[in-house]
């Protein structure tokens, strides 16, 4: 009986040992599963955000190159010429899309209360990523929009210069024609043709120049308001003699800049409005 009892004890010990190994193996699998789950919840989204942030920089640089290329055509007076650019809309984690939209806003310039020029503003932009980031070219500047809030990477061209008590307000406002929406998992090639380089237009001597931008979207109005505010603030710490500047938002979807001369200066407006035709090819 003792021998039989000892054998039974040995068999129970072996079973307990085997059960412990099984339980330990299951616990190891649970730990591994928890690590993988935490990585999926925390690590993967962080990697995607990092990748999208890096991709946004690449798209922004592509639009800055685009601005340089299209500006170069009108500066050199090359009507009929075109530039081709590859916009890397898609990221490693998601497809992207490229849009060209006409009449997203209207820029009006008044001289002494009389309408002098009206330009319909077009927008070429790419959208991508889980945050629906937008990077694009509008009104001669490059912008970036994240979570519905936009900033200028480089603003439109508007300068105020004083030369011997003569103040010039210089504006360059490109007109963009074309309409398309293209999705792709790769880069999207864009052709931009310079239709009319436009010569510089000199307005009459005036007392006041009012520039108003009316947008379809509030974020776009806020974007232009920030541009006008920057001009106003720059004039505060580095004033242009002979003029006073005031920026405002008359409505939720409009922004305004008012430039008024004083008695010691002569005020003139110069405008250049090159016209482009934008199209997508090879898609």
223 beta partners: none
> Is 42 part of a structural domain of the chain?
no
> Is 252 part of a structural domain of the chain?
yes
Question: Residue ranges of the chain with pLDDT lower than 50?
Answer: 1, 3, 9, 43-44, 282-283
Look at residue 165 in the predicted model and tell me its pLDDT. 83
Q: How many domains does the chain have?
A: 1
> Is 233 part of a structural domain of the chain?
yes
| Nearest in space to 173 (alpha carbons), one of 275, 81, 56, 267 | 275
Look at residue 283 in the predicted model and tell me its pLDDT. 44
Instruction: In whole angstroms, give the CA distance from residue 174 to residue 193.
Output: 12
Q: Residue 154: left (phi > 0), alpha (psi -120 to 50), or beta?
A: beta
Q: Which residues contact 238 (CB under 8 A, 6 or more apart)?
A: none
Instruction: In whole angstroms, give the CA distance from residue 15 to residue 134.
Output: 64
Q: Would you give the end-to-end CA distance of the chain in angstroms?
A: 88
> Is 53 part of a structural domain of the chain?
yes
Domain interval for residue 131: 47-280
Look at residue 7 in the predicted model and tell me its pLDDT. 54
Look at residue 1 in the predicted model and tell me its pLDDT. 47
Instruction: In whole angstroms, give the CA distance from residue 195 to residue 95.
Output: 32
* Tokens (6 digits) for 87: 């916009």
Q: Residue 204: left (phi > 0), alpha (psi -120 to 50), or beta?
A: beta
> Is 30 part of a structural domain of the chain?
no
* pTM across the whole model: 0.81
Look at residue 262 in the predicted model and tell me its pLDDT. 85
């Amino acid at each position: 009986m003792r021998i039989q009892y000892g054998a039974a004890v040995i068999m129970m010990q072996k079973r307990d040992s085997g059960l412990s190994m099984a339980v330990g193996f299951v616990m190891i699998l649970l730990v591994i599963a928890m690590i993988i789950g935490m990585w999926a919840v925390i690590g993967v989204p962080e990697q995607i955000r990092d990748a999208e942030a890096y991709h946004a920089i690449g798209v922004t640089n592509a639009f800055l190159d685009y601005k340089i290329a299209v500006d170069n055509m009108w500066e050199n007076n090359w009507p009929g010429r075109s530039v081709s650019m590859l916009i890397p809309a898609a990221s490693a984690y998601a497809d992207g899309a490229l849009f060209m939209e006409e009449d997203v806003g209207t820029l009006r310039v008044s001289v002494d209360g009389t309408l002098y020029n009206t330009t319909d503003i077009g927008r070429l932009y790419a959208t991508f990523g889980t945050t629906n980031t937008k990077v694009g070219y509008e009104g001669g500047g490059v912008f970036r929009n994240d979570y519905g809030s936009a900033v200028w990477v480089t603003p439109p061209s508007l300068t105020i210069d004083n030369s011997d008590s003569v103040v010039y307000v210089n504006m360059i406002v490109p007109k963009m024609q074309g309409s398309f929406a293209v999705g792709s998992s790769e880069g999207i090639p864009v052709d931009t043709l310079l239709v009319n380089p436009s010569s510089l237009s000199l307005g009459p001597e005036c007392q006041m120049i009012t520039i108003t931008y009316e947008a379809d979207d509030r974020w776009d109005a806020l974007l232009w308001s920030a541009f006008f505010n920057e001009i106003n603030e720059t004039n505060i710490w580095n004033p242009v003699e002979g003029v006073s500047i005031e920026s405002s938002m008359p409505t939720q979807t409009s922004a305004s800049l008012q430039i008024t001369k004083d008695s010691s200066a002569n005020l003139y407006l110069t405008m250049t409005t090159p016209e482009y035709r934008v199209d997508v090819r090879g898609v």
